[in-house]
């Protein structure tokens, strides 16, 4: 069996988090790792043995976080995935591949409403949407996450999103999240939008035009920048450009989002007709979120390469706050007992010419052999 070096990088970060969050009584073993006397695998195994094969016996107190769950964390790491060797989809547990791809198509479409995802049975964003609904419409209703009451409320919420378009337009919208930023960055300024909405009123238009003329103001409308379209065009016309970046984290609009962008921005780079992508992620849920993010950006890189006539080379993933939630410790310990299978491959329909044409029938993950699913609760 060929070694899956891509997945080994992910497993390395998991072990690093355990090692760097170990209790003080394991200081001697950790110092040997820091001095290079022990490899990361040897250090993890020694710690696990010393902790009676129970990861919770090794880990020190967790750090408090926004969700109230608590995390074991490190700051700063880099993983590099060679896309010429296969597709970096984790095999040490089963991954919801259709959900990854449908979410990516949703980003590319510019949509920010969960309704299209719900109709495709993709529930990735449902907890964040429900939490926002409860905070704004039922502020005194303190439902415990994942309780029976929460699950009942979620079923009610999803039914209303499906059946009531007016309800969906209001409560299914996540605010200007990824799709909005990729396809219309800066186009959600409430002041500009209010002006544009009033320009059909001729009295308002005349006064506004006079004001602009009197004070030498320039009005360009409320539309923002289609960042994805621009970088694809640059790849076709000026592939050596060093300004091919797409930003998802927009400080001006964080307050209007149900969740500020975790994968904050990415940059594209070409050499010898090969395309690479580097993405910075500010917050990295190592068990649930990050496996999705790795596969999503690897697929995006391949798709962009496809429509620009390039060959996908490498995806580089820079991690900011990389963390294991305190309620995922047992799952991580189980996952680290698994040996990775060889990488699967990604097939893209050769007839596709534009990035918006991709859909679930035109992107396929093939030869995906994996271990069983390992479930864990999401924190929001």
Q: Which of 212, 262, 302, 370 is catalytic?
A: 262
Taking the C-alpha atoms of residue 19 and residue 47, their distance in angstroms, rounded to an integer, is 8
Asked about 277 being catalytic, the answer comes back as no
Which residue numbers are catalytic? 262
């Amino acid at each position: 069996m060929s070694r899956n070096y891509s997945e080994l990088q992910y497993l390395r970060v998991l072990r690093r988090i355990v090692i760097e969050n170990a209790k003080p009584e394991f200081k001697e073993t950790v110092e040997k790792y820091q001095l290079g006397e022990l490899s990361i695998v040897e250090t993890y195994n020694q710690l696990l043995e010393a902790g009676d094969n129970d990861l919770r016996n090794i880990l020190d107190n967790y750090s408090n976080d926004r969700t109230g769950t608590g995390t074991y964390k490190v700051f700063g790491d880099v993983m590099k995935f060679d896309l010429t060797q296969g597709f970096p989809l984790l095999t040490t547990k089963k991954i919801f591949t259709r959900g990854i791809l449908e979410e990516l198509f949703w980003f590319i479409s510019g949509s920010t409403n969960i309704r299209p995802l719900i109709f495709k049975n993709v529930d990735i964003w449902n907890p964040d949407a429900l939490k926002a609904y409860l905070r704004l419409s039922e502020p005194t209703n303190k439902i415990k996450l994942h309780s029976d009451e929460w699950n009942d409320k979620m079923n009610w919420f999803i039914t209303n999103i499906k059946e009531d378009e007016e309800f969906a337009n209001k409560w299914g919208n996540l605010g200007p999240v990824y799709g909005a930023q990729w396809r219309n960055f800066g186009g959600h300024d409430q002041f500009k939008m209010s002006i544009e909405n009033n320009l059909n009123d001729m009295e308002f238009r005349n006064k506004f035009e006079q004001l602009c003329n009197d004070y030498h103001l320039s009005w360009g409308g409320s539309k923002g920048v289609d960042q994805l379209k621009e970088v694809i065009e640059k790849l076709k016309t000026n592939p050596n450009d060093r300004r091919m970046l797409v930003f998802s984290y927009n400080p001006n609009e964080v307050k209007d989002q149900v969740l500020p962008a975790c994968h904050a921005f990415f940059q594209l780079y070409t050499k010898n007709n090969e395309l690479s992508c580097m993405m910075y992620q500010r917050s990295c849920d190592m068990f649930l979120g990050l496996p999705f993010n790795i596969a999503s950006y690897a697929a995006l890189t391949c798709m962009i390469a496809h429509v620009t006539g390039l060959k996908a080379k490498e995806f580089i993933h820079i991690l900011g706050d990389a963390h294991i939630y305190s309620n995922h410790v047992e799952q991580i310990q189980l996952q680290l007992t698994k040996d990775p299978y060889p990488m699967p491959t990604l097939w893209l329909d050769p007839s596709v010419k534009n990035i918006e044409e991709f859909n679930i029938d035109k992107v396929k993950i093939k030869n995906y052999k994996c271990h069983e699913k390992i479930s864990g609760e999401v924190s929001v």
